[in-house]
A and B are shown apart, each in its own frame.
Chain A
């Protein structure tokens, strides 16, 4: 296994420990800063791996027990898994997942959301760091604005609690990314 196919430290050791704790294959669907930094070159710090799906259930229980904030692996590596339960994600995201570090681990498979899906998962929170990440993704990928808008309208908007408010946020994003 070449070192290029493994994440840098401290992620490498943390994920290896996770892998060793598993008895059977497990899949983590990842979003947030970890994916943006590892796949899209964003030089930003992040202390957690944001996960929206952990499968199967048995593996999920094992991983949650050892890798959540305050757990033994957090105390050891000072990074942790964060299960994101509230983020709204475009509905067909699973069809667009890509594997990060394929075959790097025995049981663990880290799947990354498509960059448009990652961006849209940040829409409701819309904090400064979210906007900065979206701007970075938009320049690095680079984004097709029509695709971003279309995915928002067809796959995300209907899921949102306050779609009128998010329409305004989306308008801000489109203006911001066009500058």
Chain B
């Protein structure tokens, strides 16, 4: 988030600098300097901004804000806070950018299968998330195969729901990872798979999972209840 971003959300809310400064717990002079770019937007201020202003989830800080992962509980609550129906009954104070949440999940060794099946819901519901950042970060962590498969699952679901434009957009994001596809066999964030399951999945996974070298049998038909 930049000072310019902050200024635009303030003016969109029709707040004066003094009103906004009061609500953000800073002085008007400091806010003015931040908006002009002579002071950076600190992590603490960015966290307050997303709580005070009615910003979309995709506008939440993505790069600098440290998110403390608390295992499964963190993912469940963060997904619930974003509106994922399966975990919506859980309360959360975590306000995580959907792209950041997806990256953190894809970069996990062992996710609960219910969290994994929730992941395609993120690109479906936040198609305008920061894909540039997400793909670049995924590649730097060797998680591009997982990201591509999740995008493909979301695209398949969108297709089945008749949302053809969205399906095409998501398929494009997956295709953009084709040149960086990894040859190593991987799981969809489930490294604790037993050897028997691994062997079974090699012959029973969908063709697109085989293409992305992933041991998973998750497919769009399994996700109807998720959306």
CB <8 Å contact, B114 and A45 = yes
Contact A176:B72 (CB < 8 A) given known A128-B217, A129-B117 = no
Interface segment out of the listed B21-29, B38-46, B122-130, B193-201:
B193-201
Decide if A127 is an interface residue (CB 8 Å cutoff). yes
Chain A, residue nearest B115 (CB) = A45
Taken residue by residue from 32 to 72, chain A's Cβ proximity to chain B (1 for < 8 Å, 0 otherwise) reads as 01000000000111110000000000000000000000000
Taken residue by residue from 97 to 123, chain A's Cβ proximity to chain B (1 for < 8 Å, 0 otherwise) reads as 000000000000000000000000000
Among B72, B88, B113, the residue within 8 A (CB) of A129 is B113
CB <8 Å contact, A47 and B113 = no
User: Which residues of chain B from 63 to 104 have a CB within 8 Å of any chain A CB?
Assistant: 72, 76, 85-90
Contact A172:B200 (CB < 8 A) given known A45-B90, A127-B217, A128-B216 = yes
Interface residues of A (CB under 8 A from B): 10, 33, 43-47, 77-79, 127-129, 131-132, 135, 172, 175-176, 178-179
CA distance A46 to B217 in the complex (A): 21
CB <8 Å contact, A43 and B217 = no
CA distance A10 to B80 in the complex (A): 14
Among A10, A132, A176, the residue within 8 A (CB) of B113 is A132
CB <8 Å contact, B88 and A47 = yes
- Interface size grouping (class) on chain B: 20 to 34
Chain B residues with CB under 8 Å of A129's CB are: 112-114, 117
**Number of cross-chain contacts by CB at 8 Å:** 57
| Closest Cβ–Cβ distance, residue A11 to chain B (whole Å) | 9
Among A10, A45, A131, the residue within 8 A (CB) of B197 is A131
Contact A128:B190 (CB < 8 A) given known A172-B196, A176-B196, A179-B196 = yes
Among B86, B87, B89, B218, the residue within 8 A (CB) of A127 is B218
CB <8 Å contact, A44 and B217 = no
CB <8 Å contact, A78 and B114 = no
CA distance A176 to B190 in the complex (A): 15
CB <8 Å contact, A79 and B72 = no
Decide if B222 is an interface residue (CB 8 Å cutoff). yes
Among A47, A77, A131, A176, the residue within 8 A (CB) of B86 is A47
CB <8 Å contact, A47 and B85 = yes
Decide if B116 is an interface residue (CB 8 Å cutoff). yes
CB <8 Å contact, B194 and A179 = yes
List the 6 shortest-distance A-B pairs measured between CB atoms, nearest first. A129-B113, A175-B196, A78-B89, A128-B113, A176-B196, A179-B194
